[in-house]
Structure 1
Amino acid sequence: MNEANALRRVAKHTSIPAPRLIDFTQDSDRTGFMLMTKVTGYPAEKTYYLMTYEEREQLTRDLGKCISQYRRIKNHNESLICNTIGGPITDRRTDDIPYGPYMSKTAMLDDLTGGLEEIRKDKPLSMLYEKEHGICFTHADLHLSNIFLDGGRLSGIIDWENAGFKPEYWEYTAAMWPYMVMGQRFRFVAPRRRERLNWYCKPGEILLGESATDIVTLFARPVVPKSHGSRAKATDSWLENPYLIRQKLVTPQKRLRRQSDLGVATYTPSYVDDTQSHTLELPDEIHKTPSHSNDTRSRLLELPVEIHLLIFESLGLEDAFRLGTSCQYFWGVLKPLTARRFAGEFGIWAGTPVVCVSNRCEPGGDAAYPKGLLSADDVIELEQGLLKSELLEDIRPEKDGYDGPANLYSMAMYRYSRVTEQTFTEGFIPSLLRPAAESMQDIPCPPDVREVARLRPFDFYPTTREWVLRNLTTREFVRPTAVALREDLIHGPFIDILGYGEIILSKTCWSPGIYKGVWAGHALDIVPSTYLNDDGLWKDISRQVAGELMDIWGRGYGNDWKSRIIESNVQRASVNLASFRFES
């Protein structure tokens, strides 16, 4: 009955494109039946991620006009807070359990916070009591499933069963609830690499309460320090040639993969134009520290440089480091190799399609995922599902839906490799400090041995450059100055408080029925702005993306959120590459 009356009020007092009530009847058990018109178009959840920025801005204006109209509908009931016929209010956040009606906002708050009397005077609950809020007509379920679009324009608003007269903030909190709560979990996945992050999250909580800085290192392509991007000649000595031959400086997202337990070293070269992998089976003698006798050393140095590279690339870092400190020439070979190996731990998802996928996605190969995200084999795998032997012991397949097709969230959890957490110390790779110290005690060493052994993360991300976030799929980019709250909060690709991590997270989430991020399934990277071509093929969307992000935070923290957030967070929110924390 409440929805029927709500539709009558909306039709009488507004021009909102809502279903028109034709008839309504109610049985003796108070079960109601309505006959109404059908709105045109499709739910926004199915088309929003395909809309242009201009179409989204128009939808925002259209919705704003509709909300302004129905907020002017007057309450002629005795109760201040009630449904459209003066009865109890309902809300899906409380499982549609009726509450009220109430004669005042305080009475409603006392009822809803029953059992929390001891903390009512503490923030944030105290703010609800202290601040004045108007009471107005509210839809109370305004999310993308209930908003219909036709031809890119608003064509209908449906599901008015929870409508009533409620505090003015109710519309926003009810609309945001599906994206921030609803028990959904999201996991970052790169299907083509068959990798996932080893944490799950609720995007709303991270965007408004935590930090997404960790994500940046997955997409920021490292730049090998110039001091390490060089190789010496066999005739070099420590004093004769302090400047070494430069090699290519930028490493792609491919990582070194080793199978030392099989006696085989597999190496993916870090050059941008070299994508072939080389598998080398090397004798055990190669792994021994070479003799320092003149004859042996001469014969080793006479080998072609390609053989020297293969030798170094077959060794573990510590053994390679000891060999590299044996002479100037080998030191020149080692330096770029060491830097590239370290750099290979960064930017591993740059240029590969990614998605932050919900655990509520439908199982099976026919489920809707972003175009181009999954291969044909991936779809078949989802349809076949998981084996019971793969599941954790405390999961019962018949209860948790693992007895048939699986969704991408579950498949990634059980079959994809975890991107291991990075633990950065002052020396970056602590294991090199010991062989460096040993080498300095035993034989003469190059003057920059400590520098090479103690590479820092910022050595790979120079802060003197402007780093841009690129969408390689759509050829769009975002500049840091448009996103950062202040320019002094920009540190290369890392931006304190609000930065590229938050953008990537907010635009790659994928939850059918709730939210489909426009960048879900796209290939992204973060690179120096010099990588942008001057041929006009790249589109600057900095203003639009920054506006979206600022709107999310503004709605979450209020009009003066910038000054308050900066004041309370700038000290503790600085990028701390000494301890990237991943939650299991």
Structure 2
Amino acid sequence: MDQKFKLVAPRARLTEDYSNPIEDILFGSGWDRGIGIKSSYTAERLVDLLAVPVVHKDDRKPASVEPRNTPQNYCSHNQDQSRDLLVAEAIKHEASVKILKSNPLKEANQGDQTGRFRSAALSNLPTELLLVIMGYIEDIEDIVSLALVNERLCSIAQGELQSYFPQYFAPWANENIACVGDYSAEHDFPPGLFSDAELEALQHEEIAIFIEEEAEWKIGSPNRLGDFTYPGVSHIQERPMEILSSKTWPLRDCLGSVSDSSPNPLIKSCDIYRDYFPRDQPWVLRNPTTKEFVRAEAIALKPEFIKGPHIVGLGFGEVLLSRISWTSAALDIEDTADIGRGIWAGHRFDITTLTRHERKTTGDAEWTDVSDEVVTEIAIIWESYFGADWRETLCRVFETQM
């Protein structure tokens, strides 16, 4: 039975645009074709969807400054009306005209006879107001252009850039997710995924559904988990790293053209993965639904395979896929651990640092470390597929890919 699986967040109505056989989903590709083992692409993608970035205290805006695109709320700390007017005038004068975007260096060097910059008035505003002004500017490239005016604005804009990128990470953190097979039966949902009221509401939806047995599309309600992978029901999840690449490379091009002799300090703000997913901190996979977590060092084949939330060969993604897969039919592999009826299917997850987990769960004794349980389960599954020496085999293969 040629069954393929696809990631889905049914309550959020999000899904992926590709599917793979269970062997590739769990174990990667290439093993049976004699070309070496490649990490599971689905597992890597799942980590990107769930890994929450680290944002250091010195990267955060002051509490009095609201996020971009919410200017109507910026007076949350009772700033008086005169400050409101001052900020509005500064924005109207400096931001609405695409600040320095056409030629930032030329503009920055065009001063009057006293040598002062045209933007001196803006540069001399208090830092708090400059942060508010930057918060009003929707185009991040305009922030970069503004930063090129002088050293002070450059310093302030660095924090703005560092607080801008994290919004694109972990789009599925704390969403109910599963990896659903092609052959999911009607009304066969993971336990607790939908309430009775939600199931009733689903029966009143009308979508175009492909009927496998009849090989044609029909109008019906989404009463199978697999129905939530259809375009009429769910949206395709954009890939976080591709979104970020499209946004950072134009910024790098702009910054790189400023100086050939030394890199602009703003370029460091674009090195997003290194800064937000540090490798010198321990990471954990968390299941808030059951209040359980798994430690990276417990499941990694070798300590040196741990690269922040990503773990070479066998990591958080593989652990999740072995526990969130859901199908109503038999699998194409020996299902020694009932993978097709995953005990975590439909649950919520995130991947975060152990430090953040401990800080946010201080005094909460209900959280349980299930790392040992997961390690035992993984050993059974991977041995059934790769053989008794599965660990040594994988270590040997992935060491050559490091």
Q: 1:299 to 1:468 in 2, by over 3 A?
A: closer
The amino acid that maps onto 1:229 is D
Confirm or deny: 8 A CA contact 2:54 2:277 kept in the other structure.
yes
* Distance in 1 between residues matched to 2:225 and 2:279, nearest whole Å: 37
Q: What secondary structure sits across from 2:161 in the alignment?
A: helix
* Distance in 1 between residues matched to 2:268 and 2:385, nearest whole Å: 45
Structure 1 equivalent of residue 334 of structure 2:
none
Confirm or deny: 8 A CA contact 1:203 1:506 kept in the other structure.
no
RMSD value, Cα = 3.8
Deviation at 1:344, TM superposition (A): 2.0
TM-score (norm 1): 0.51
Structure 1 equivalent of residue 96 of structure 2:
286
Deviation at 1:398, TM superposition (A): 6.2
Matches within 5 A, 1:334-349: 334-349=157-172
Structure 2 equivalent of residue 410 of structure 1:
227
Matching of residue 496 in structure 1 with residue 312 in structure 2? yes
Deviation at 1:489, TM superposition (A): 1.1
Deviation at 1:337, TM superposition (A): 2.4
Q: What secondary structure sits across from 2:230 in the alignment?
A: helix
Q: What secondary structure sits across from 1:402 in the alignment?
A: strand
* Distance in 1 between residues matched to 2:244 and 2:99, nearest whole Å: 28
Q: 1:427 to 1:464 in 2, by over 3 A?
A: farther
**1:556 counterpart (361, 385, 390):** 385
Q: 1:417 to 1:298 in 2, by over 3 A?
A: same
Deviation at 1:547, TM superposition (A): 1.0
Structure 1 equivalent of residue 301 of structure 2:
485
* Distance in 1 between residues matched to 2:146 and 2:344, nearest whole Å: 46
The number of aligned residues is 341
The amino acid that maps onto 2:145 is R
Q: What secondary structure sits across from 2:54 in the alignment?
A: coil
Matching of residue 471 in structure 1 with residue 321 in structure 2? no
Deviation at 1:496, TM superposition (A): 0.9
**2:237 counterpart (387, 410, 419):** 419
Structure 2 equivalent of residue 436 of structure 1:
255
Matches within 5 A, 1:91-110: none
The unaligned stretches of length 5 or more in structure 1 are 1-181, 232-245, 249-255, 259-264, 270-280, 575-584
**1:518 counterpart (343, 346, 371):** 343
**1:215 counterpart (41, 46, 63):** 46
* Distance in 2 between residues matched to 1:529 and 1:383, nearest whole Å: 43
**2:206 counterpart (385, 398, 403):** 385
Matching of residue 224 in structure 1 with residue 55 in structure 2? yes
Deviation at 1:336, TM superposition (A): 2.4
Deviation at 1:369, TM superposition (A): 3.7
The unaligned stretches of length 5 or more in structure 2 are 30-39, 74-87, 101-106, 112-116, 331-339
Confirm or deny: 8 A CA contact 1:386 1:403 kept in the other structure.
yes
Matches within 5 A, 1:254-403: 265=69, 286-289=96-99, 294=117, 296-299=119-122, 301-302=124-125, 305=128, 308-309=131-132, 311-363=134-186, 366-373=187-194, 376=197, 380-381=201-202, 383-387=204-208, 399-400=215-216, 402-403=218-219
Deviation at 1:432, TM superposition (A): 0.9
Q: Which structure has the greater CA radius of gyration?
A: 1
Confirm or deny: 8 A CA contact 1:359 1:410 kept in the other structure.
no
Q: What secondary structure sits across from 1:459 in the alignment?
A: helix
Q: Which has the higher contact order (CA 8 A, sep 6+)?
A: 2
Sequence identity percentage: 25
Write out per-residue CA displacement over residues 75-104 of structure 1, whole angstroms, 9 at most, x where no aligned residue.
xxxxxxxxxxxxxxxxxxxxxxxxxxxxxx
* Distance in 2 between residues matched to 1:324 and 1:494, nearest whole Å: 33
Deviation at 1:288, TM superposition (A): 1.3
The amino acid that maps onto 2:178 is V
Q: What secondary structure sits across from 2:176 in the alignment?
A: coil
Deviation at 1:355, TM superposition (A): 1.4
Q: What secondary structure sits across from 2:344 in the alignment?
A: coil
Deviation at 1:286, TM superposition (A): 1.7
* Distance in 1 between residues matched to 2:152 and 2:195, nearest whole Å: 46
Structure 2 equivalent of residue 205 of structure 1:
24
Confirm or deny: 8 A CA contact 2:8 2:228 kept in the other structure.
no
Structure 2 equivalent of residue 167 of structure 1:
none
* Distance in 1 between residues matched to 2:362 and 2:212, nearest whole Å: 56
